[in-house]
A and B are shown apart, each in its own frame.
Chain A
Amino acid sequence: ETGVTQSPTHLIKTRGQQVTLRCSSQSGHNTVSWYQQALGQGPQFIFQYYREEENGRGNFPPRFSGLQFPNYSSELNVNALELDDSALYLCASSQDRGGVYEQYFGPGTRLTVT
């Protein structure tokens, strides 16, 4: 069974640029969630996708957007990058059966905005 994978591992961008981060779900999982973890803090929920539809969103502006594909992989896109967007971005997958379920995390993408 393959776990959650993310790419790239590290990324450096300039303020104002756009970035796309990628996530492959664990086999058999149909739900993907994205989190932002700033240095020294706990992860913050960005949004969740279930069967290619956004299924909830945290307090993040619209320049944070996402996609989920038919194979349940996912992308996180961030436009007009700001210095405060520098963080570890974590993807988590889960199998939604209508009840509460645990989420399994990938290793993350470290984004640095200069």
Chain B
Amino acid sequence: AQSVTQLDSHVSVSEGTPVLLRCNYSSSYSPSLFWYVQHPNKGLQLLLKYTSAATLVKGINGFEAEFKKSETSFHLTKPSAHMSDAAEYFCVVTASDTGRRALTFGSGTRLQVQP
């Protein structure tokens, strides 16, 4: 079994300030973790992925995330927010147990960026 908890449903930051979106996961197997972003009326875009290589993962648009097994966390960060970062962000876990590799999504964090 696997699950994801996104600790904040809404996060508001000012443009140019750091972004932190928090995610905790639970998995019976070694997990792979992803962050996806969804802009209004658009599909989901992959930001970055962790698949048991380096624990600090760099993604697109300046985002990065750190896998911490001891804390079962995979928080998403960005040093400086841009107005275009305003969107819904989903933390996602998958684990291959019976061969099924379904993605399990968190409930999402809506990021607002104030000018």
Which A residues have a C-beta under 8 Å from some C-beta of B? 4, 33, 35, 41-45, 48, 55-56, 58, 90, 92, 96, 99-108
Contacts and interface: CB of A to CB of B under 8 A. Distances in A.
Chain B contact residues (Cβ within 8 angstroms of A): what range? Answer: 20 to 34
A105 B42 CA distance: 10
Contact of A33 (B42, B49, B103, B107): B103
B104 interface: yes
Contacts, number: 57
A29 to B, nearest CB: 13
Contacts of A90: 43-44
**B46, B94, B96, B101 interface centre (most CB from chain A within 10 Å):** B101
> Taking chain B's interface residues, is the majority helix, strand, or loop, or is none over half, making it mixed?
loop
Interface of B: 32, 34, 36, 42-46, 49, 51, 90, 94, 96, 98-108
Contacts of B36: 105
B99 A56 contact: yes
A42 B108 contact: yes
> 4 tightest CB-CB pairs across the interface, nearest first?
A56-B100, A42-B105, A45-B102, A100-B32
Given A56-B98, A96-B101, A106-B43, 4 more contacts: A43-B105, A55-B99, A90-B43, A107-B42
A53 to B, nearest CB: 11
Contact of A44 (B42, B49, B96, B105): B105
B19 to A, nearest CB: 19
Contacts of B100: 48, 55-56
A100 B105 contact: no
Nearest to B108: A42
